Structure 1
């Protein structure tokens, strides 16, 4: 039987309970054997503000997933000096595990952009897409409608989309919210794991709020 490997990407600046809740839902509902956390280096779509240094984001992520036996961190994108595309990243991963069944874990906002992705044909065809409602007010029906509309748009390009809607409460935590809470000296226990909160305090991260 093919190993089921999930991919969860992001800047993780910082990683928070919303990410972990999403990862747990994907693991349980898709029966994943492995989960690769894929932190980005300096993606162009985040150029509106500086990211915390890669070493700090990596350290926080390591602390957040410690103890999860199926989770590992993949540093392919962060170690690249060039702009990285998901299709290229997946191609490298696929060479390492050629017989795996791949699952990308995304919110509905990301899913809606699939038709713009570089080399989307091979990536969309070869992976399953685990879709999470992205906004607090988004109902499962609305999330499902977005997935269907995305599927129809890709079908018009003769690209089949295999997707599964995750049964979960929409994620109500954002990294921006965490950074703002740090800046305003608010408690973090409802936003990030204790080990992440301790790391933020120790290294005095996010003392200047940049959005």
Structure 2
């Protein structure tokens, strides 16, 4: 089975994440995409991060109707920082016959060799990153792909145009009391309102 891995803080999950998921499922011909909220991401401060149970619930609401997307709490069950290599090691034990496709942003792809135990990650998953169409970063990403493949990596660059939405933008809209129409799933907007998140 071809299994994609899309991790992040999802603070909160938004429609840009949905479009990203759809693009990778299509481009990589995935049989399943695991949506994995991080406990404490190693590269970010946890300041302003709402509780894990809220982020998990919002992800489940967002992807509830997509049969190819499965929200996993694998990282939320582990204490401490969420390390990708640890997650992959667990997934390999859970799904020994799967081929894993690790999805990341272009910035993370270009700095991949600074990741914790990155050499082991190369052995466990195909590295997948999105490139904006006609972007100035295309050359940089192609060069990084060549470097990583020379180190034994398998890489896939997926071309798509992301929605101009970020979790920061969503949080700012909430703080200002503005509408979330078109930014998050209606069920997520209602969940945020009911629980008084990001105010």
TM-score range, shorter-chain basis? over 0.9
Does the 8 A contact of 1:5 with 1:36 survive in 2?
yes
1:144 matched to 2:138: yes
Report how many residues are paired.
199
User: Taking structure 1 as reference, are residues 145 and 125 closer, same or farther at Cα in structure 2, changes over 3 Å only?
Assistant: farther
- Which ranges of 4 or more aligned residues in structure 1 deviate by more than 6 Å? none
For residue 112 of structure 1, what is the aligned residue in structure 2? Answer: 110
CA contact under 8 A between 2:42 and 2:83: conserved in structure 1? no
Is 2:39–2:81's contact at 8 Å kept on the other side of the alignment?
no
TM-score (norm 2): 0.92
For residues 148 and 161 of structure 1, the distance between their equivalents in structure 2, rounded to whole angstroms, comes to: 13
Quote the offset at 1:141 in angstroms: 4.6
| Alpha-carbon spacing, 1:130–1:75, altered in 2? closer, same or farther (3 Å) | same
Structure 2: tracts of 5 or more residues without a match = none
TM-aligned CA distance change 1:34 to 1:69, over 3 Å: same
CA distance in 2 between partners of 1:152 and 1:125 (Å):
16
Q: Is the 8 A contact 2:40 2:46 kept in 1?
A: no
Aligned to 2:181: 189
CA distance in 2, matches of 1:112, 1:41: 23
Q: Does the 8 Å CA contact 1:11/1:41 hold for their aligned counterparts?
A: yes
1:13 to 11, 14, 17: 11
8 Å Cα contact 2:2/2:30 also seen in 1: yes
Matched, 1:124 2:122: yes
Picking from 1, 4, 14, the partner of 2:2 is: 4
Q: 1:36·1:72 contact (CA, 8 Å) conserved in 2?
A: yes
Q: In structure 2, the residue corresponding to 1:76 is in which secondary structure?
A: coil
The answer as to whether partners of 2:35 and 2:71 remain within 8 angstroms in 1 is: yes
- Between the aligned partners of 1:87 and 1:44, the Cα distance in structure 2 is 12
Shift in Å at residue 54 of structure 1?
A: 1.0
Alpha-carbon distance in structure 1 between the residues aligned to 2:44 and 2:120: 25
Q: Does 1:96 align with 2:94?
A: yes
How much has 1:48 moved relative to structure 2?
A: 5.9
